[in-house]
Amino acid sequence: MSLFDRFAGHLFKRGEMTIIMADGDVRRYGTPDPAIKPVTIRFADKGVTGFIARNPHLHAAEAFMDGRLVIEQGDIRDLVDLVRANGKWEEGRVTLRGTFANLVRDRLRAVLASVNWASRSKANVAHHYDLNDRLYDLFLDADRQYSCAYFTDPDNGLEQAQADKKAHIAAKLHLKPGQRVLDIGCGWGGMALYLNRAADVDVLGITLSEEQLKVARERAAAAGVSDRVRFELIDYRALEGKFDRIVSVGMFEHVGVPQYETFFMKCRDLLADDGVMLLHTIGRLGVPGKTDAFTLKYIFPGGYNPALSEIVSASEPARMIVADVEPLRLHYGMTLDRWYDRTVAAKDAIVALYDERFFRMWTFYLAGARAAFYHGNLCNYQIQYVRDRRAVPITRSYMAEKEAELPR
């Protein structure tokens, strides 16, 4: 029995997987499951089976991107869903190990990438966020919220869920008119502009992406609030001043584990004595881990999704007090479903911007991330921090009351 047959036989237990080999031989694995769509794939050459088996996390993606793995029934979302449903994190079943040499190499690359010195951070950010603006317009909401939405109803559309996310975060910041707010990793400016409009506060947004900076400044100018909502190209480590509130949405994933204590020490320095901070980040269930090889190579170099223990332990030396923690377990999977649908609907436009290989890479990225939230060890954390234990009310009721009042 080949390495691939052993790999596939071990992996596919639930759901129907049909593989058409390069020589025309048809192999079937698994058993029917009404919760999992059946998938058929075809291998375009004889070498692809061994290639995938040696390093499944990276090589399956590359085989799909290069057209060596062709999906005949279903799509890449269905394929990744079938694979990940056979190794749910809660069940503790490990299915995609690859060879020992590749495991060691991938782990070393992940450790090196996580260092994230200031000199490397800008290049890492540019790799992903300085892509063509049109790409993000095609699959994000109108406000370009490139982070986990908040679904008060599972049937809500993307626009509503992202609007609810901004209100959910604003309520936790316990804002008052005239306060000075810092948005670390401000993206295209949507959160900063919303906070100004919803709570009458002044906001400084900082980013390392030149493309995001340009768009954010244009949006502030168009809204006539450039005097109150400013954006700067600066690393958080180089920033000076004091802020009543700090918000960071979808940026902590790029900080790098060795920099976590530095991040929280800097946030303490920047936060007023009675200030409030809200950290919104992808995280992992259970113990610390590593970023998969595909994501590091093609999507987020230097990226890492932390365990809750890593976040909290890194904030302790700075004496940042955890005032509230909310895990969003399924919200990001639902967000990614909507991004994936919009991406597929915009295939012709994305291929025109880049090419077929890029489109396949992007859909694999979205499908893989989605499955990690539905079946794997990823979730989203919202952690509220204070410097003074009396900075916010002693019960959580103020959050819900304020959230209901905020505009969408």
Rounded CA gap, 405 and 330, in Å?
Answer: 25
Q: Which residues contact 301 (CB under 8 A, 6 or more apart)?
A: 113, 123, 124, 127
Whether the Cβ atoms of residue 280 and residue 382 lie closer than 8 Å to each other:
yes
151 by Cβ neighbours in 10 Å (0-12 / 13-18 / 19+) ranks as: buried
- CATH architecture, domain 117-405: 3-Layer(aba) Sandwich (3.40)
154 by Cβ neighbours in 10 Å (0-12 / 13-18 / 19+) ranks as: exposed
pTM for this entry: 0.91
Rounded CA gap, 6 and 295, in Å?
Answer: 26
The whole-angstrom distance between residue 164's C-alpha and the CA centroid of its chain comes to 18
Q: Phi and psi of 261, rounded to 5°? A: -65, -40
Q: Which residues contact 224 (CB under 8 A, 6 or more apart)?
A: none
Rounded CA gap, 277 and 385, in Å?
Answer: 5
- Give 78-147 as a DSSP string: HHHHHHHHTT-GGGT-------HHHHHHHHHHHHHHTT--HHHHHHHHHHHHTS-HHHHHHHS-TT---S
Q: Where are the domains of the chain?
A: 3-98, 117-405
Rounded CA gap, 55 and 57, in Å?
Answer: 6
Q: Which residues contact 80 (CB under 8 A, 6 or more apart)?
A: 364, 367, 368, 370, 371
Here the tokens at position 180 are: 């000075």
Tokens 């992940």 locate to 110
Rounded CA gap, 186 and 154, in Å?
Answer: 27
Tokens 């990438």 locate to 113
Q: Nearest-5° angle of CA 327, CA 251, CA 115?
A: 110
Q: Considering only CA atoms, which of 290, 315, 314, 294 is closest in space to residue 304?
A: 290
Pick the CATH number of 3-98 from 1.10.3470, 3.20.20, 3.30.450, 3.30.1050: 3.30.1050
pLDDT tens for the chain, 408 residues long, are 566 777 777 889 999 999 999 999 999 999 999 999 999 999 999 999 999 988 988 999 999 999 999 999 999 999 999 999 998 999 886 665 555 455 545 555 555 555 655 656 656 655 555 567 899 999 999 999 999 999 999 999 999 999 999 999 999 999 999 999 999 999 999 999 999 999 999 999 999 999 999 999 999 999 999 999 999 999 999 999 999 999 999 999 999 999 999 999 999 999 999 999 999 999 999 999 999 999 999 999 989 999 999 999 999 999 999 999 999 999 999 999 999 999 999 999 999 999 999 999 999 999 999 999 999 999 999 999 999 999 999 999 999 999 999 999
